[in-house]
């Protein structure tokens, strides 16, 4: 039975009452590995933490006690290779137990985990590994060729481990771990001690590393608990198809679940399969899920039929709309609870259908503990009904510490005490927030936030390309897809060049950011100061 002493929220109160009475915990010491692993390992070492379902449907369970011992061993492996307080440890893995063990091992040492998406190509990895100055990397055989191709450009990267065994230029993860002692003291970290570095795409320039302290886990708990109808009830079991390299998998599901002692199902799904997802839920006893909106759309298209047994279904990343909410009620027998946030400051708005009505098209109300408002361009708080920018007041435990080594860009994110999200919306008289549009040019596709800058740089690196601009165009399943406009040096294009450019982005950055459409144009619309008018391209580029 889950100890309710770990939960931050209690049932039995109205939303307003929960907000009025909420007080954040204020620990002097706080470490994610301690509260998500060792605490449970001491109290209930045999308690189920992870249920790993492999591709062949075989299973392996991991107790909290086992996770604690294995992560201590790998922490000693990293320490023997020179990893210490503040050093960065990259995790280039899909959903696997080894990914979690690497996170915990890094946190034990006071090091900083750098989660990386396995679809990143050589250019995407080269930048993130180089910018973070990662000292160690854990990956698998499938991703080693990309690492090998860029390793010569990464002087800080001193140790590479593969979970599939040793090879040229890398050590075997399990071989090294089994030779290490399982005694390792927990680093004395505070809430503001850096824990992980999550890269997010912006509209201009290279991706930015959002640095989060250990406190970020506490900051997520109220919104995650409420979205799941007070997560931590007896029998609760979590799963998401979202990759743990993103906040949606790591901080919306994995870490909050373990914090509450709720077992998490681990399953590598290279491509989302609605029928496979349903079978997994039924066979493993999953009761609580987080689905990106695109996954729900695909399940709806697949006509999966009724799914009984779920206690909560949550979603975030894009507005669901009334149609998808109604479908969810028919299929799941419950209301999908949406919430809202971004890499820099996540899960600050949310819903809990057990406490208050869910309004279609709304991301919900300000979660207890978080102050959210609509700001004017001048930074003034606007009254209900007026459109402005969604903003979050600092200090807030879910808020990032800053962009990695970019104090100027960190400062640009704030207006006084308010963090500006870059999203336009309004709040109604009852406190429900409604997202309307993005102020910046970030593309939202299948739940991923994609910045045009990195794609444009990749395209203009081709010798035939003089200029390039990237925008998002509407798509019924993915919300938006990437479309590129290219000016060639010769003034002409071809189908062969189009295919070559799309493949260039797929292989150098990642398939998930590759343009679905690419048009050759004679010129790009620009302002008087030379800035590309992406709004004009979005209007003219609808497909």
Helix (H, G, I), strand (E, B) or coil at 439: coil
Quote the DSSP letter at residue 269. Answer: -
423 vs 457, higher pLDDT: 423
d(CA 208, CA 127): 10
The pLDDT assigned to 445 comes to 86
539 vs 126, higher pLDDT: 126
Class of 443-540 per CATH?
alpha beta
Whether the predicted pLDDT of 79 surpasses 60: yes
Name every residue whose Cβ is closer than 8 Å to that of residue 439 and which is 6 or more positions away in sequence. 389, 422, 423, 424
Name every residue whose Cβ is closer than 8 Å to that of residue 17 and which is 6 or more positions away in sequence. none
Whether the predicted pLDDT of 4 surpasses 50: no
Whether the predicted pLDDT of 187 surpasses 80: yes
Cis preceding-peptide flag for 141 (omega within 30 of 0): no
Tell me how crowded residue 383 is: count the other CB atoms within 10 A of its CB: 10
Helix (H, G, I), strand (E, B) or coil at 461: coil
* Confidence bin at 543 (pLDDT 50/70/90): very low
* Token code pair at residue 535: 């709004």
Size of the chain, expressed as the number of residues it contains: 543
* Confidence bin at 43 (pLDDT 50/70/90): very high
d(CA 50, CA 41): 13
Per-residue b or e along 85-116, where b marks 16 or more CB atoms closer than 10 Å to that residue's CB: eebbbbbbbbbbbbbbbbbbbbbbbbbbbbbb
Nearest to 320 by CA among 338, 343, 295: 338
- Report the pLDDT averaged over residues 480-509: 94
DSSP H stretches of helix in 232-354: 247-249, 255-259, 274-284, 293-302, 321-332
The pLDDT assigned to 2 comes to 34
If 0-12 CB within 10 Å is exposed, 13-18 middle and 19+ buried, where does residue 361 land?
middle
**Mean pLDDT for all residues in the chain:** 93
The pLDDT assigned to 482 comes to 94
d(CA 131, CA 409): 15
Fold annotation for 28-47+57-214 = Rossmann fold (3.40.50)
Nearest to 204 by CA among 496, 539, 453, 533: 453
The pLDDT assigned to 3 comes to 40
Contact between 506 and 484 under an 8 Å Cβ cutoff? The reply is no
Longest dimension (CA), the chain: 69
What are the residue ranges spanned by the domains of the chain? 28-47+57-214, 443-540
Question: How far, CA to CA in Å, does 314 sit from each of 179, 194, 328, 332, 352?
Answer: 41, 28, 10, 11, 10
Q: Any bridge partners for residue 90, and if so which?
A: 114, 137
DSSP H stretches of helix in 348-451: 407-412
Name every residue whose Cβ is closer than 8 Å to that of residue 279 and which is 6 or more positions away in sequence. none
């Amino acid at each position: 039975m889950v100890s309710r002493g770990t939960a931050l929220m209690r049932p039995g109160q109205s939303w307003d009452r929960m907000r009025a009475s909420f007080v954040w915990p204020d620990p002097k010491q706080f470490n994610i590995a301690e509260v998500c692993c060792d605490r449970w390992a001491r109290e209930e070492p045999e308690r189920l933490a992870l249920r790993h379902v492999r591709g062949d449907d075989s299973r392996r369970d991991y107790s909290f006690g086992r996770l604690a011992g294995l992560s201590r061993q790998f922490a000693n492996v990293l320490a023997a290779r020179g990893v210490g307080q503040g050093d960065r440890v990259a995790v280039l893995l899909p959903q696997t137990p080894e990914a979690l063990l690497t996170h915990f091992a890094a946190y034990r040492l006071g090091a900083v985990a750098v989660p990386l998406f396995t679809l990143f190509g050589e250019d995407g990895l080269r930048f993130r590994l180089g910018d973070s100055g990662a000292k160690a990397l854990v990956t698998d055989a499938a991703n080693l060729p990309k690492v090998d191709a860029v390793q010569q450009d990464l002087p800080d990267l001193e140790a590479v481990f593969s979970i599939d065994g040793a090879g040229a230029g890398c050590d075997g993860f399990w071989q090294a771990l089994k030779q290490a002692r399982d005694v390792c003291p927990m680093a004395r970290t505070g809430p503001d001690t850096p824990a992980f570095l999550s890269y997010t795409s912006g509209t201009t320039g290279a991706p930015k590393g959002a640095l989060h302290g250990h406190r970020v886990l506490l900051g997520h708990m109220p919104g995650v608990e409420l979205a799941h109808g007070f997560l931590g009830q007896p029998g609760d079991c979590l799963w998401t198809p979202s990759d743990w390299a993103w906040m949606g998998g790591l901080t919306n599901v994995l870490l909050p679940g373990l914090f509450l002692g709720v077992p998490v199902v681990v399953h590598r799904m290279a491509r989302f399969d609605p029928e496979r997802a349903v079978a997994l839920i039924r066979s493993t006893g999953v009761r609580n899920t987080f689905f990106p909106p695109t996954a729900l759309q695909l399940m709806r298209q697949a006509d999966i039929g009724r799914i009984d047994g779920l206690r909560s279904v949550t979603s975030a990343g894009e507005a669901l709309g009334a149609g998808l909410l109604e479908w969810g009620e028919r299929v799941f027998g419950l209301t999908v609870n949406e919430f809202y946030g971004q890499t820099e400051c996540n899960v600050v708005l949310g819903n809990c259908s057990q406490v208050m009505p869910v309004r279609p098209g709304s991301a919900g109300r300000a979660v207890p503990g978080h102050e959210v408002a609509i700001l004017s361009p001048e930074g003034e708080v606007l009254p209900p009904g007026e459109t402005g920018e969604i903003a979050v007041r600092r200090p807030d435990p879910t808020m990032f510490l800053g962009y990695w080594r970019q104090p100027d860009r960190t400062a640009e994110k704030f207006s006084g005490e308010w963090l500006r999200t870059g999203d336009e919306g309004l709040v109604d008289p009852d406190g429900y927030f409604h997202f309307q549009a993005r102020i910046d040019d970030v593309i939202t596709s299948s739940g991923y936030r994609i910045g045009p800058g990195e794609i444009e740089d990749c395209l203009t690196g081709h010798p035939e390309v003089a200029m390039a601009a990237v925008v998002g165009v509407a798509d019924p399943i993915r919300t938006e897809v990437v479309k590129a406009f290219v000016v060639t040096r010769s003034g002409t294009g071809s189908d062969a060049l189009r295919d070559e450019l799309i493949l260039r982005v797929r292989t150098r950055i990642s398939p998930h950011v590759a343009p679905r459409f690419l048009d050759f144009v004679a010129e790009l619309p620009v302002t008087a100061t030379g800035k590309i008018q992406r709004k004009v391209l979005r209007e003219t580029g609808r497909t």
